Amino acid sequence: GENVEQHPSTLSVQEGDSAVIKCTYSDSASNYFPWYKQELGKRPQLIIDIRSNVGEKKDQRIAVTLNKTAKHFSLHITETQPEDSAVYFCAASRARGSSASKIIFGSGTRLSIRP
Amino acid sequence: GAVVSQHPSWVICKSGTSVKIECRSLDFQATTMFWYRQFPKQSLMLMATSNEGSKATYEQGVEKDKFLINHASLTLSTLTVTSAHPEDSSFYICSASMAGHYEQYFGPGTRLTVT
C-alpha cells in the first residue's frame, strides 16, 4: 500500500541555522506533496506544497525540493526562529483531475529551535 | 476564506455510549471530506473519505459499523463513534476540499476521552 517515510523523527537546531527534513514515498502515481506544521493540540497548517511537475518551490524561508525519479522530497527551513518549533509532517497524495484525494502522512519530525 | 469548524472541541463519554462529531465547511462547498485520527505523539491516520450524497470509503482496518460517517450536505459531515471504548480515545480531525483544488482544509480537531 501507499507509504511515506520521514526522517529524522526529532531535530534540534541552533536559532538562525537551517533545518532539513527528508521524506520518501512509495506510490509512484503520487503527484501532490504538501507539508504541514502542527503545534500541540492544534490543527495541521499547510506551510508549502509542491506538485509533481515542479522540482523546487520556495516561499520566503521555506523551500521544498522533489526528486520524482528517486521518490524523495525535502523541506528546507533557513534562518530558523523560535516560532518554527513544532511538529512537521510531509505528505503525499494521488490527486485525480483537479480535485483533492486522500493524503498519506509521514510519521512527523519534532523540530526544536535552541535559542 | 476556506474555514472548517468542528464540534465539539472536546468530549468525555462513558464506555458503551455513542458520540457524534460534526465537521462543517463555513464558507465553501466541500465536495469531499476526510476524517483522521491522531494518537498522542503520532501522525494523522486517515480513517475514511466521504463525498456528499455517497457512502464513505473506509481505510483498511477501520470498522465502518463502529465509525459511522454521514456527508448529508456540501457543508456538513458527521462522524459517530458507536459503543465507544477507552481505546477509541483520540484526537479526531476532519478536513474538507473543494472542487478544483488539491488542498485540504483542516478543522481544529475534537479530543475524545472515553472513560
Q: Contact at 8 Å (CB) between A108 and B44?
A: no
| CB-CB neighbors (< 8 A) of A106 in chain B | 43
Mean pLDDT of the region B72-76: 90
Asked whether the predicted pLDDT for residue B17 surpasses 70, the reply is yes
Question: Could you give the 3-state DSSP secondary structure of residue A45?
Answer: strand
Asked whether the predicted pLDDT for residue B103 surpasses 70, the reply is yes
Mean pLDDT of the region B9-37: 95
pLDDT classification of B31: cutoffs 50, 70, 90: confident
Query: What is the pLDDT at residue A99?
Result: 66
pLDDT digits (tens, 9 = 90+) for A19-34: 999 999 999 999 999 9
Residues making up chain B, counted from first to last: 115
Q: Which letter, b or e, does each residue of B55-85 get, where b requires 16 or more Cβ atoms within 10 Å of its Cβ?
A: ebebeeebeeeebbbebeebbbbbbebeebe
Distance CA B5, CA A74 (A): 30
Asked whether the predicted pLDDT for residue B91 surpasses 90, the reply is yes
Asked whether the predicted pLDDT for residue B4 surpasses 80, the reply is yes
Asked whether the predicted pLDDT for residue B113 surpasses 80, the reply is yes
Query: What is the pLDDT at residue B1?
Result: 74
Query: What is the pLDDT at residue A47?
Result: 97
pLDDT classification of A98: cutoffs 50, 70, 90: low
B27 touches A: beta carbon within 8 Å: no
Mean pLDDT computed over every residue of chain A: 94
pLDDT classification of B84: cutoffs 50, 70, 90: very high
Cross-strand bridge partners of residue B13:
B114
By C-alpha distance, the chain A residue nearest B5 is A43
Query: What is the pLDDT at residue A2?
Result: 81
| CB-CB neighbors (< 8 A) of A57 in chain B | none
Checking DSSP bridges between strand B110-114 and strand B10-13, what pairing results, if any?
parallel
Asked whether the predicted pLDDT for residue A1 surpasses 70, the reply is no
Query: What is the pLDDT at residue B53?
Result: 79
Q: Which of B43, B93, B99 sits opposite A108 (nearest CB)?
A: B43
Distance CA B36, CA A91 (A): 14
Interface test with A, best of B38, B42, B43 (most A CBs within 10 A): B43
Q: Contact at 8 Å (CB) between A113 and A82?
A: yes
- Residue B100 CB burial class (10 angstroms; 0-12, 13-18, ≥19): exposed
Looking from the CA of A13 toward its CB, the CA atoms found within 13 Å total: 23
pLDDT digits (tens, 9 = 90+) for A37-77: 999 999 999 999 999 888 999 999 999 999 999 999 999 99
pLDDT classification of B102: cutoffs 50, 70, 90: confident
Reading the block at residue B55, the C-alpha cell is 457512502
